Amino acid sequence: MNVKEIRDNTIPELNEMLANLKDELYKLRFQHAINQLDNPQRIAAVKKDIARVKTVIREYEIKDGKTA
């Protein structure tokens, strides 16, 4: 997932995407704990996607004049 794809979404879509990514990360961590994870690099990729989505959400908040 790249930033251009993320920026094409609205805030509610981004929040839904963030929730889905967090759920996926939880499941990946659980699989990793019980040694059933096929691709451990997927955990790092999901973490980076979460950071990208949070960054874009924060950019929208700053642009709209909201503070954290």
Q: What pLDDT does residue 54 have?
A: 97
Please list the alpha-helical segments (H only) found in 1-68.
3-7, 11-33, 41-64
Total structural domains within the chain: 1
Q: What CA–CA distance (Å, rounded) separates 60 from 12?
A: 12
More confident residue, 68 or 23: 23
Closest among 21, 30, 28 to 50, alpha carbons compared: 21
CATH number at residue 26: 1.10.287.310
Encoded tokens for 5: 């794809």
**More confidently predicted of 1 and 14:** 14
pLDDT tier, 68 (very low <50, low <70, confident <90, very high otherwise): low
Cα end-to-end span (Å), the chain = 25
| Full domain range(s) for residue 25 | 3-64
